[in-house]
Amino acid sequence: MVELKKIEINDWAKIQKIAYETWPNTFGQVIPKEQINYMLQLIYNEESLKKQILEKEHNFILAKKDNQSLGFTSYEINYNSEPQLMIHKLYILPVTQGLGIGTKFLNLLSEIAQLNKNKQLRLKVYFENTKAIGFYEKYGFKKIGTETTDIGNNYNILDNIMVKKLL
């Protein structure tokens, strides 16, 4: 049975490990290896993860089964001071994709949003991550635009912005 559990600040290394295992598989065909390494070091170092939790108020949830970490998601309630839950991250180990963990995450995030009177889920997904885009569309997300982010080191990321209205 897969359990979803909010993580504590000291669990940052579990998040880092999953990111380092999923990113090469997820982005290896569409983003140069040097850029993947740069982004992993930028986003998933200890200081950055702790800042995301403590200062940016990102909530992380870990999926576990038999004491094995399988994936994680992070979110922010009332993103941009609007009644929407922003999904900042959702990564599942490649060997456990297709087992319903992503749907479990999205169902839980929908519940959290509704409990906090947030009217929609929002996320950004890399424009060439067709597998993730298809998954989100299947769950009811619609693309509402794109956004380019300068992440430094002469790298820009183009993301699709997707939302799902909640009842």
Q: Convert the pLDDT of each residue in 21-55 to its tens digit.
A: 999 999 999 999 999 999 999 999 999 999 999 99
Q: Does 66 reside within a domain? A: yes
- Count of domains forming the chain: 1
The encoded tokens of residue 138 equal 């299947």
What pLDDT does residue 96 have?
93
What pLDDT does residue 141 have?
98
Q: Does 165 reside within a domain? A: no
Contacts of 38 (CB under 8 A, 6+ apart): 151, 152, 153, 155
Q: Does 107 reside within a domain? A: yes
Q: Does 160 reside within a domain? A: no
The fraction of the chain above a pLDDT of 90, given in percent, is 96
Give the global pTM: 0.95
pLDDT class of 167 with cuts at 50, 70, 90: confident
Q: Does 94 reside within a domain? A: yes
Closest CA to 90 of 78, 77, 101, 79: 101
> Which range marks the domain in which residue 96 is found?
3-123
Residue 80 has pLDDT above 90, yes or no: yes
The CATH number given to whatever domain includes residue 9 is: 3.40.630.30
What pLDDT does residue 91 have?
97
Residue 18 has pLDDT above 90, yes or no: yes
Pairing of strands 59-65, 68-76: antiparallel
Closest CA to 111 of 167, 49, 154, 62: 167
Q: Which residue has the higher pLDDT, 97 or 167?
A: 97
Q: Does 164 reside within a domain? A: no
- Between the CA of residue 72 and those of 6, 16, 64, 150, what are the distances in Å? 9, 10, 9, 25
pLDDT class of 129 with cuts at 50, 70, 90: very high
For 100-155, the DSSP string reads SHHHHHHHHHHHHHHHTT--EEEEEEETT-HHHHHHHHHTT-EEEEEEEEEEETTE
CA 113 – CA 15 distance, rounded (Å) = 22
Average of per-residue pLDDT values in the chain? 96
pLDDT class of 150 with cuts at 50, 70, 90: very high
State whether residue 67 is helix, strand or coil: coil
Q: Convert the pLDDT of each residue in 85-97 to its tens digit.
A: 999 999 999 999 9
Q: Does 87 reside within a domain? A: yes
What pLDDT does residue 130 have?
95
CA 66 – CA 96 distance, rounded (Å) = 13
